[in-house]
């Protein structure tokens, strides 16, 4: 430890600072300053490109939102589904209004085209003409329609190209956004909408992202076509430059690379827009001459301050070596003892300065830790027990209402044994749910409770409900937390079951291996959207289910909370949509409880 002490390091540093030739310090200072400036410039340009990415995505998403607004117009959608309604004045007027609204929603939009997929028709409008319904659809944009259809977001940005209106003296540069309109919920194409807009706004955003004359800036399409470049430059022939091929072939969303070629030597910084915003690449090329432009002047300033700093370092080293390092060594010794589990810390005060205050607070901290360890241990035991009692005490009044209603209906119709069976099942369910003495029960008890619940539901729905159990007989004695199956089954009746549409089916399977018990609950209900599924799983992991806006998932929250209380992170609960219809919820339980106790110790 003596060899690595602060005192020895400071002495060696002082010797090195006095022995190393002053000329060498100039070179080192310049080198480190140049590298520091390089990193700073790269970081600043990375931040600048990211802001440019945000601005471009915002602008493109704004235009994309105009195309998506077509879904909010039932009249237009109905027209696209049945173009024969062209003779219907109201339908035609609705189409005209929608196209005109989109055309004038953003000042850079020059023309709007809607190509109806069902028939060979084209609806077009520009700022210099009214809405025109054409009977003949040209094949000019067919390739871009295919790319829009193949895109995950159903949108494709055609790079800069030229259009010419009859009134224009020369062609104008435009960018075209193509979107395929889907006949939701099917995947059939209703139409393709194309927005031709001026690149002026994109140019304005781009001009703020580089220093003219010192840096190069480009916007590239995913295919490598130039959307914007900082200066009028020669195309360099038909062959695409190597750096463009490298950029579009990389799989990273952003990054930095040093690039050397005949015409350029420096650093390239790039950012990629999201696929929903066109997937463009923003590329900034900064030459080394720009990177190191101010390095020399900064190095001279650093050298001047270095001389002053060297003198101060000598004084500080002498003071620190003999005044501060000795108490620190004592503290390090006791810290090492604390790491080994010895919390008995006793040493004399180091004085009234900061080091002495640090030593006193260190002793107070150790005493506080000792006290908190004892208190926290007791609180954790009590808190875990109380949480289990609270989580098990929740009973669903909605279920009780439906169960009693079914029993009453059976009483009116049958007047016989069916009533006795229903009441018996309900009493078993109530007795099982309200018994606070059991925290863990054999799997067989949990299965029987769930089966009684399903039989009561079958009394209500009859042949519209089917269920079956596939159980590993050797796993029936396995202890599991109480009430983990029935709340999941109950969720199916709340959110996924509709007797009017089809027969409901529930499958419950349990199997075990040497280390784990696996439980699977499958249904054929309506399932959950992928976004909602991810949201539920995310909130489960964050332990937030049951807060405001999430009350419908209180059952899952209770189950997940109890799994965490018993097993920590060694158990999990997952939700997954099935390929056909329905939802599968899987639970994996370790055979040993958290803290190394076998679960069998918890059951009588």
Q: pLDDT tens for residues 54-94?
A: 999 999 999 999 888 888 888 788 878 777 655 567 777 87
For residue 604, pLDDT over 50 is answered with no
pLDDT at position 334: 77
Between 354-392 and 554-567, two packed helices, what is the crossing angle to 10 degrees? 120
Return the domain boundaries, the chain: 73-197, 202-291, 328-388, 393-602
pLDDT at 88: 66
Q: Is the peptide bond before 157 cis (omega within 30 degrees of 0)?
A: no
- Fold of the CATH domain 73-197: Beta-Lactamase (3.30.450)
Instruction: Extract the tokens encoding 467.
Output: 């269920």
Q: Do the domains 73-197 and 202-291 sit in the same CATH topology, yes or no?
A: yes
pLDDT, tens only, 305-330? 767 766 777 677 767 666 667 777 77
So what's the pLDDT on residue 440?
A: 87
Instruction: List pLDDT tens digits, range 228-246.
Output: 988 765 444 456 788 998 9
DSSP at 598 = B
User: What's residue 2's pLDDT?
Assistant: 47
Percent of the chain with pLDDT over 90: 17
- Edge-to-edge strand order for the sheet containing 109-116? 129-134, 121-126, 109-116, 189-197, 172-182, 155-163
Is the pLDDT confidence value at 201 over 60? yes
- The tokens describing 406, both together, are 């079914």
Q: Name the pLDDT band for 11 (thresholds 50, 70, 90).
A: low
Helices (H), 210-282: 242-249
Domain 393-602 matching CATH 3.30.70.2500: the answer reads: no
In this prediction, what percent of the chain has a pLDDT beyond 70?
77
Q: Return the CATH number of 202-291, one of 2.40.360, 1.10.10, 3.30.160, 3.30.450.
A: 3.30.450
According to DSSP H, which parts of 340-468 are helical? 354-392, 397-413, 417-434, 443-461
Average confidence score pLDDT of the chain: 79
Strands 504-512, 465-471: pairing kind: parallel
Q: What is the pLDDT of residues 260-271, one digit of tens each?
A: 988 888 899 999
pTM to 2 decimal places = 0.46
How many CA atoms, within 13 angstroms, populate the side-chain half-sphere of residue 418? 16
């Amino acid at each position: 430890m003596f060899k690595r002490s602060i005192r020895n390091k400071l002495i060696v540093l002082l010797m090195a600072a006095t022995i190393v030739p002053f000329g060498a310090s100039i070179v080192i200072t310049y080198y480190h300053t140049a590298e520091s400036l390089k990193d700073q410039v790269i970081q600043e340009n990375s931040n600048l490109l990211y802001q440019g990415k945000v601005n471009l995505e915002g602008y493109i998403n704004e235009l994309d939102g105009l195309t998506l607004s077509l879904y909010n117009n039932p009249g237009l959608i109905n027209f696209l589904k049945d173009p024969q309604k062209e003779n219907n004045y109201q339908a035609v007027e609705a189409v005209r209004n929608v196209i005109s609204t989109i055309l004038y929603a953003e000042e850079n939009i020059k023309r709007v085209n809607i190509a109806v997929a069902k028939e060979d028709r084209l609806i077009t409008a520009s700022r210099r003409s009214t809405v025109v319904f054409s009977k003949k659809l040209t094949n000019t944009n067919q390739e871009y329609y295919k790319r829009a259809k193949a895109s995950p977001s159903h949108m494709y940005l055609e790079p800069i190209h030229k259009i010419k209106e009859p009134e224009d003296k020369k062609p104008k540069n435009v960018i075209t956004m193509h979107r395929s309109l889907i006949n939701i919920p099917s995947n059939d194409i209703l139409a393709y909408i194309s927005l031709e807009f001026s690149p002026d706004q994109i140019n304005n955003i781009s001009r703020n992202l580089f220093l003219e004359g010192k840096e190069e800036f480009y916007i590239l399409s995913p295919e490598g076509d130039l959307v914007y470049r900082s200066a009028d430059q020669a195309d360099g022939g038909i062959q695409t430059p190597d750096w463009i091929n490298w950029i579009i072939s990389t799989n990273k969303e952003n990054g930095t690379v040093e690039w050397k070629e005949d015409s350029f030597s420096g650093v390239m910084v790039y950012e990629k827009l999201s696929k929903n915003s066109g997937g463009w690449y923003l590329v900034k090329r900064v030459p080394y001459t720009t990177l190191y432009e101010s390095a020399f002047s900064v190095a001279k300033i650093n050298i001047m301050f270095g001389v002053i700093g060297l003198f101060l370092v000598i004084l500080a080293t002498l003071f620190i070596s003999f005044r501060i390092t000795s108490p620190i060594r004592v503290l390090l010794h006791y810290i090492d003892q604390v790491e080994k589990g010895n919390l008995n810390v006793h040493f004399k005060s180091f004085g009234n300065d900061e080091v002495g205050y640090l030593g006193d607070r260190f002793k107070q901290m150790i005493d506080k830790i000792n006290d908190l360890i004892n208190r926290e241990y007791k609180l954790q035991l009590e808190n875990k027990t109380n949480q289990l009692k609270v989580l098990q005490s929740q009973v669903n009044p909605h279920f009780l209402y439906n169960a009693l209603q079914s029993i009453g209906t059976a009483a009116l119709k049958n007047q016989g044994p069916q009533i006795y069976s229903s009441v018996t099942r309900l009493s078993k369910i109530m007795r099982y749910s309200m018994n606070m003495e059991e925290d863990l029960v054999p799997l067989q008890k949990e299965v029987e409770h769930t089966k009684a619940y399903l039989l009561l539901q079958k009394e209500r729905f009859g042949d519209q409900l089917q269920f079956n159990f596939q159980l590993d007989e050797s796993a029936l004695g396995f202890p599991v937390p109480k009430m983990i199956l029935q709340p999941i089954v109950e969720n199916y009746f709340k959110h996924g079951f509709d007797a009017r549409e089809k027969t409901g089916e529930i499958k419950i399977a349990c199997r075990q291996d040497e280390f784990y018990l696996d439980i699977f609950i499958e249904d054929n209900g309506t399932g959950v959207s992928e976004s909602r599924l991810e949201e539920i799983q995310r909130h489960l992991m964050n332990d937030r289910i049951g807060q405001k806006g999430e009350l419908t998932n209180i059952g899952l929250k209770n189950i997940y909370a109890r799994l965490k209380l018993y097993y920590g992170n060694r158990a999990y609960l997952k939700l997954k949509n099935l390929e056909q219809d329905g939802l599968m919820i899987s639970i994996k339980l370790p055979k040993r409880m958290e803290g190394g106790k076998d679960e069998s110790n918890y059951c009588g």
